[in-house]
Amino acid sequence: MPADTLEFKAELKQLLHLITHSLYSDREIFLRELISNASDAVNKVRFDSLAHADRLEGNTDWKIRITPDKAAKTLTVSDNGIGMTRQEVIDNLGTVAQSGTKAFLEAARQAGKVGEAPGLIGQFGVGFYSAFMVADKVTVVTRPPGSPADGTRWESDGQGQFSVEPCEKPARGTDVILHLKEDATEFLDPWRLRSLVKKFSDFIEHPVVMDVEAETDGKKETTEETLNSRKAIWLRNKSEVKPEEYEEFYKQISHDAQPPAATIHYAAEGRTQFKVLAFVPAHKPLSFDWEEQSTGLKLYVQRVLIMDRCEQLLPFYLRFVKGVVDSADLPLNVSREILQQNPLLDVIAKSVVKNVLDTLAGMKNVEPEKYLTFYKGLGPVLKEGLTRDWANREKIADLLLFESANTEPGKYTTFAEYVEKMPEDQKEIHYLIGDSAEQMRRSPYLEAFKARGQDVLLLADPIDEFALPGLGEYKGKRLQAADRGEPSAGDGDIPAEVKERFAGLVSVFKEKLPEVADVRLSKRLTESAACLVADGAAMTAHMERLMERFGRGEGRSKRVMELNPNNPAVEAARELHSKDSKDPRVGAYARLLFEQAVIAEGSKVADPAAFARLVNDLITRDAKG
Ligand code: ADP
């Protein structure tokens, strides 16, 4: 059968163009990617054999072989893993499947040229395609369990097309043959290969072997050398693992270029035994996909990889954690579906969550700078746990950092500190949600709290609007939005005499401002003239803006306008009204005060031109007067 020539999918063409046309220092990672694919393929056939031992063809000497050929200038990575059918070859090596690779493309697009963002490819790990960093042609010869005639040969120069044709392949598995570029012949050197395997793939559980020539007593002999130590790093004793080893392992499983912020490694020795090696990233990885980020830890049973991402082992709000669980107590020979119902998984998950949260708490106390970097990127993800993990919500609440009205910009406080500093008569924890702490610091809603010596937490993550009300309270103290309802703590009522004096003005304002639900005198303002508050169950202004941004706006709900009787402008309006209740300026002032309150809450005035006209009238009158 002749070879078929097929086109790469558009996205992949883009990716290959970036890979083949850019220079970067870390192209050596191609070897890590190919060895990791080979190791995955071996794990898959091992797993497959649990149910279909007959498909192994007696080929169970699990091995990944590296063969440099100086004469042909090729480097081959071979495995006796699961191999691929013709269709799998087309699907797997003709499209971009990984979401990480998609994120890479997006980041590269944002960075402009990849040349300006060195290391991007290394950070994402573009898998198989990284072969084109060092090769100008790649040939893949592969065959799944079956017979030698079931082989497929794939070949491409990475320029937009690839060919596939049937071929003979005696042994099951895959050979990836790299025809090295002129400037990449260093990867034929056994020393170079040996050190790369040691560096990147030492813990790969299958032997990575290479034939080496050695001279003993003047005689040349070829021996098979195993290049990696193969000790599954998570099965080793913590004291025996070097920090660099943890780091490499983390980079391998996470595709993150930076070292992790924290490493969690322990063996549970109680009634059930299992080992955990997990990592907290130092920052939000570039490839972090907010919604679609897959969660879960790798699940091994006695060193056999059962699931690459076992979701039950990690709640969604900890999806930034990467790692491995190995348990000897789980049955090896059952289906994944049945395994997922095993209650032991929940026991392990509970333990993992506890350890991750404790580790974060330790980092927050002992390494606050490090914690802050982590928190700035991934804090919003962690906050999802406030509503999703009821049992741990206090622990999660204690991990949160907030700017507040009393902190300096860029400095943070916590719930615990906030509560400790609360004046005795303060009953609730006040918070304000908005677009940025900087903007909220100038908000009129803070005035009354400031005057009473009470602090207000300033929250600017979109998730806060759901997470904080979801939490409801902290150590028995209710959480109360500062721009909602009437402030209750320690307020004296407005004196009846003041209320009476302003009654006329208040009712004219109500009449002139159909967009507000009510007008009342304010207990919360000490400086500003007016503000708008959401009443009872109504959405706050920030929430409404969010919903509008997501296209879910259902029209603004009406707010209550509060007037500060001590503000000179409000007082002037009152005087004017009491002299002549028909004076048209009263209506104009009502509108001006309302619109300045709209601006203060961070929203936009509905008709900026009309607003400008009102202000200009005022200037004209004032200048002439
Ligand atoms: P990833 O390995 O992250 O999924 P790759 O681009 O490296 O992405 O590989 C794409 C797919 O090709 C793999 O998911 C796997 O199904 C298949 N593949 C790659 N290398 C091998 C191999 N040596 N043996 C079997 N399948 C492979």
* Ligand 1 centroid to residue 64 C-alpha, Å: 14
Query: 10 with 69, same domain?
Result: yes
**What are the DSSP E strand ranges found in 168-313?**
173-180, 208-216, 219-226, 262-269, 273-280, 297-301, 304-310
* Ligand 1 centroid to residue 476 C-alpha, Å: 52
What's the rounded Cα separation, in Å, for the pair 611 and 157? 64
The pLDDT value recorded for residue 490 is: 39
Tell me whether residue 278 is in a domain: yes
What's the rounded Cα separation, in Å, for the pair 155 and 153? 7
Tell me whether residue 454 is in a domain: yes
pLDDT digit string, tens, across residues 396-422: 999 999 999 999 988 999 999 999 999
Atom 13 of ligand 1, residue of closest alpha carbon:
92
Q: How many CB atoms lie within 10 A of CB 530?
A: 25
pLDDT digit string, tens, across residues 471-511: 999 999 999 888 876 655 334 578 889 999 999 999 999 99
* Ligand 1 centroid to residue 37 C-alpha, Å: 5
What's the rounded Cα separation, in Å, for the pair 281 and 251? 10
* Ligand 1 centroid to residue 92 C-alpha, Å: 6
Tell me whether residue 159 is in a domain: yes
Tell me whether residue 392 is in a domain: no
What's the rounded Cα separation, in Å, for the pair 184 and 525? 70
What's the rounded mean pLDDT across residues 586-592? Answer: 91
The pLDDT value recorded for residue 621 is: 86
| pLDDT of 557 above 80 | no
What's the rounded mean pLDDT across residues 422-432? Answer: 92
Tell me whether residue 417 is in a domain: yes
Q: Three-state secondary structure along 324-377?
A: EEEECCCCCCCCHHHHCCCHHHHHHHHHHHHHHHHHHHHHHHHCHHHHHHHHHH
Which range marks the domain in which residue 588 is found?
Answer: 496-624
Q: How many CB atoms lie within 10 A of CB 625?
A: 5
Q: Which helix (H) or strand (E) holds 135?
A: strand 135-143
Query: 474 with 501, same domain?
Result: no
In one letter, which amino acid is 265? H
Q: How many domains does the chain have?
A: 4
Boundary of a domain, candidates 208, 226, 244: 226
Q: How many CB atoms lie within 10 A of CB 195?
A: 13
Query: 55 with 114, same domain?
Result: yes
Please identify, by atom number, the ligand 1 atom nearest to the C-alpha of residue 176.
23
Query: 76 with 208, same domain?
Result: yes
Angstrom CA distances, 625 to 571, 620, 621, stand at 19, 8, 6
Which DSSP symbol is given to 562?
Answer: E
* Ligand 1 centroid to residue 85 C-alpha, Å: 12
| pLDDT of 88 above 70 | yes
Atom 12 of ligand 1, residue of closest alpha carbon:
92
Regarding the beta carbon of 414 and ligand 1, being less than 6 Å apart is answered no
| pLDDT of 96 above 60 | yes
The pLDDT value recorded for residue 476 is: 93
221 has which bridge partners?
214
Lateral strand order in the sheet of 297-301: 262-269, 273-280, 322-327, 297-301, 304-310
pLDDT digit string, tens, across residues 134-143: 999 999 999 9
The pLDDT value recorded for residue 536 is: 61
Structure confidence at residue 547 as a pLDDT band (50, 70, 90): low
**Residue 529, C-beta contacts closer than 8 angstroms, at least 6 positions apart:** 563, 564, 567, 569, 570, 593, 596, 597
Tell me whether residue 618 is in a domain: yes
SS3 416: helix
* Ligand 1 centroid to residue 374 C-alpha, Å: 31
pLDDT digit string, tens, across residues 285-326: 776 766 666 788 988 877 767 777 888 999 999 999 999 999
- The residue whose two tokens read 């559980």 is 205
Regarding the beta carbon of 79 and ligand 1, being less than 6 Å apart is answered yes
Do the beta carbons of residue 332 and residue 304 sit within 8 Å?
yes
**Residue 610, C-beta contacts closer than 8 angstroms, at least 6 positions apart:** none
Atom 1 of ligand 1, residue of closest alpha carbon:
127
Regarding the beta carbon of 131 and ligand 1, being less than 6 Å apart is answered no
More confident residue, 64 or 284: 64
What's the rounded mean pLDDT across residues 526-551? Answer: 72
Residue 413: give its domain's CATH number. Answer: 3.40.50.11260
Boundary of a domain, candidates 226, 261, 284: 226
* Ligand 1 centroid to residue 334 C-alpha, Å: 25
Please identify, by atom number, the ligand 1 atom nearest to the C-alpha of residue 38.
23
What's the rounded Cα separation, in Å, for the pair 602 and 446? 14
* Ligand 1 centroid to residue 165 C-alpha, Å: 19
Do the beta carbons of residue 287 and residue 255 sit within 8 Å?
yes
Tell me whether residue 260 is in a domain: yes
Lowest-confidence region among 52-61, 221-230, 406-415, 553-562? 553-562
* Ligand 1 centroid to residue 74 C-alpha, Å: 20
- Mean pLDDT in the chain? 86
Please identify, by atom number, the ligand 1 atom nearest to the C-alpha of residue 83.
25
| pLDDT of 218 above 70 | yes
What's the rounded mean pLDDT across residues 367-375? Answer: 96
Query: 218 with 284, same domain?
Result: no
Query: 361 with 420, same domain?
Result: no
Please identify, by atom number, the ligand 1 atom nearest to the C-alpha of residue 129.
6
Atom 3 of ligand 1, residue of closest alpha carbon:
127
The pLDDT value recorded for residue 146 is: 92
Among 192, 221, 197, 222, smallest CA distance to 207 is for 197
Q: Which helix (H) or strand (E) holds 60?
A: none
Regarding the beta carbon of 38 and ligand 1, being less than 6 Å apart is answered yes
Query: 524 with 617, same domain?
Result: yes
Structure confidence at residue 116 as a pLDDT band (50, 70, 90): very low
Regarding the beta carbon of 18 and ligand 1, being less than 6 Å apart is answered no
Query: 175 with 27, same domain?
Result: yes
Do the beta carbons of residue 231 and residue 204 sit within 8 Å?
no
Query: 542 with 473, same domain?
Result: no
The pLDDT value recorded for residue 19 is: 75
Please identify, by atom number, the ligand 1 atom nearest to the C-alpha of residue 126.
6
Atom 8 of ligand 1, residue of closest alpha carbon:
127
Q: Which of 34, 37, 40, 78 to mutate to test the pocket of ligand 1 (most atoms within 8 A of CB)?
A: 37
Residue 589: give its domain's CATH number. Answer: 1.20.120.790
In one letter, which amino acid is 569? A
Regarding the beta carbon of 37 and ligand 1, being less than 6 Å apart is answered yes
| pLDDT of 338 above 80 | no
User: 208-216 and 151-156: which strand pairing?
Assistant: unpaired
| pLDDT of 108 above 70 | no
The pLDDT value recorded for residue 25 is: 58
| pLDDT of 354 above 50 | yes
Structure confidence at residue 589 as a pLDDT band (50, 70, 90): very high
Regarding the beta carbon of 92 and ligand 1, being less than 6 Å apart is answered yes
What's the rounded Cα separation, in Å, for the pair 132 and 121? 12
The pLDDT value recorded for residue 414 is: 96
Rg (CA), the chain: 33
What's the rounded Cα separation, in Å, for the pair 315 and 177? 40
- Residue 338 tokens read as 């049945």
CA atoms within a 13 Å half-sphere pointing along the CA-CB vector of 285: 31
The pLDDT value recorded for residue 391 is: 94
Regarding the beta carbon of 403 and ligand 1, being less than 6 Å apart is answered no
The pLDDT value recorded for residue 443 is: 85
Q: How many CB atoms lie within 10 A of CB 219?
A: 7
Regarding the beta carbon of 459 and ligand 1, being less than 6 Å apart is answered no
Lowest-confidence region among 127-136, 376-385, 561-570, 597-606? 597-606
Boundary of a domain, candidates 481, 505, 540: 481
The pLDDT value recorded for residue 581 is: 86
Regarding the beta carbon of 128 and ligand 1, being less than 6 Å apart is answered yes
What's the rounded mean pLDDT across residues 371-384? Answer: 94
Regarding the beta carbon of 467 and ligand 1, being less than 6 Å apart is answered no
Please identify, by atom number, the ligand 1 atom nearest to the C-alpha of residue 125.
3
What's the rounded Cα separation, in Å, for the pair 401 and 376? 9
In one letter, which amino acid is 69? D
* Ligand 1 centroid to residue 184 C-alpha, Å: 23
Residue 141: give its domain's CATH number. Answer: 3.30.565.10
Tell me whether residue 378 is in a domain: no
Dihedral (CA of 404, 410, 414, 420) sign: negative
pLDDT digit string, tens, across residues 149-203: 999 999 999 888 999 999 999 999 999 999 999 999 999 999 999 999 987 788 7
In percent, how much of the chain has pLDDT > 90? 48
Atom 23 of ligand 1, residue of closest alpha carbon:
38
Regarding the beta carbon of 41 and ligand 1, being less than 6 Å apart is answered yes
Do the beta carbons of residue 313 and residue 348 sit within 8 Å?
yes
Residue 338: give its domain's CATH number. Answer: 3.30.230.80
More confident residue, 93 or 331: 93
Regarding the beta carbon of 100 and ligand 1, being less than 6 Å apart is answered no
Atom 14 of ligand 1, residue of closest alpha carbon:
92
**Residue 517, C-beta contacts closer than 8 angstroms, at least 6 positions apart:** 535, 558, 559, 560
More confident residue, 278 or 160: 278
Query: 328 with 444, same domain?
Result: no
Atom 16 of ligand 1, residue of closest alpha carbon:
92
Query: 77 with 136, same domain?
Result: yes
- Residue 513 tokens read as 């401002």
What's the rounded mean pLDDT across residues 417-441? Answer: 91
Please identify, by atom number, the ligand 1 atom nearest to the C-alpha of residue 173.
24
| pLDDT of 117 above 50 | no
Query: 23 with 102, same domain?
Result: yes
Atom 15 of ligand 1, residue of closest alpha carbon:
92
